[in-house]
């Protein structure tokens, strides 16, 4: 079955450590996205990529970095510069700008807790 | 910029009650509108969508109509079930103002609890 796999599901990190969240999709989608979810704040866009080797900052990119070396993969690194990293992180993908549809498919999420 | 405002929760209903969750939007272009649902501990799933004015999206007994004149996309269901308990997000996407991307702008979410 096609879908998006995020790992790990739960992650604990000490302050000052970088951590990388994995996102893999087998939907053959061109575009991928990272959102952060906090209670009562909805979802906010961190980074997105419309094509391999290209990505753009979203609304809250500070303290995060991404790469898009392969179509299937869009890992997110939460760096020590992110002041409040404890949150639920959601990865999503879509067909891309040349498609007629504009529906996002989401992964199950990764919950990061900073101790 | 584009934004979505949806009614604050939580909303608590008894089984078989009528559900309305209000959603209004602000957009410079002609966005597509969506309702996504999130069950506990999971990611978001598309519930329904509408891509132009007066379109009605429907799925699993839920409906929402794209009203351009009132910039609204309210979610309704005639008879809710316990299994509908989840968080519901209204969202918009406008490729024409977003460089062709499909990134979504979300409301803050409304938590629905349905009691037996």
Output the pLDDT for position B100: 60
Low-confidence ranges of chain B (pLDDT < 70): 95-102
Nearest Cβ partner for B46 among A97, A103, A107: A103
Does the CB of A70 have a partner CB in chain B at under 8 Å? no
With a pLDDT cut of 90, the percent of chain A lying above it is 73
Does the CB of A43 have a partner CB in chain B at under 8 Å? yes
Q: Which long-range contacts (CB under 8 A, 24 or more apart) does B58-65 make?
A: B62/B35, B64/B23, B64/B33, B64/B35
Interchain CB distance below 8 Å, B93 and A31 = no
Output the pLDDT for position A75: 98
Q: Residues B60-91: pLDDT tens digits?
A: 999 999 999 999 999 999 999 999 999 999 99
Inform me whether the pLDDT recorded for A61 exceeds 70: yes
Interchain CB distance below 8 Å, B89 and A43 = yes
Element (H, E) at B38: strand B32-38
Does the CB of B108 have a partner CB in chain A at under 8 Å? yes
């Amino acid at each position: 079955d096609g879908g998006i796999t995020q790992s790990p599901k739960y992650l604990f990190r000490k302050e000052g450590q970088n951590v990388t969240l994995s996102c893999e999709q087998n939907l053959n989608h061109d575009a991928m996205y990272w959102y952060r979810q906090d209670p009562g704040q909805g979802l906010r866009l961190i980074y997105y990529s419309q094509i391999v080797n290209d990505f753009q900052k979203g609304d809250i990119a500070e303290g995060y970095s991404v790469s898009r070396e392969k179509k299937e993969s869009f890992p997110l690194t939460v760096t020590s510069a992110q002041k409040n990293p404890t949150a639920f992180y959601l990865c999503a993908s879509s067909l891309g700008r040349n498609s007629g549809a504009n529906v996002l498919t989401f992964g199950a999420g990764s919950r990061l807790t900073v101790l | 910029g584009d934004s979505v405002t949806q009614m604050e929760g939580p909303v608590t209903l008894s089984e078989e009650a009528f559900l309305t969750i209000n959603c209004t939007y602000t957009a410079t272009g002609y966005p597509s509108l969506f309702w996504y649902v999130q069950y506990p501990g999971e990611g978001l799933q598309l519930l329904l969508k509408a891509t132009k004015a007066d379109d009605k999206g429907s799925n699993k007994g839920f409906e929402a109509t794209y009203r351009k004149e009132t910039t609204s996309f309210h979610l309704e269901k005639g008879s809710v079930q316990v299994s509908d308990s989840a968080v519901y997000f209204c969202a918009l996407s406008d490729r024409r103002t977003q460089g062709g991307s499909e990134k979504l702008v979300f409301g803050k979410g409304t938590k629905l609890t349905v009691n037996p």
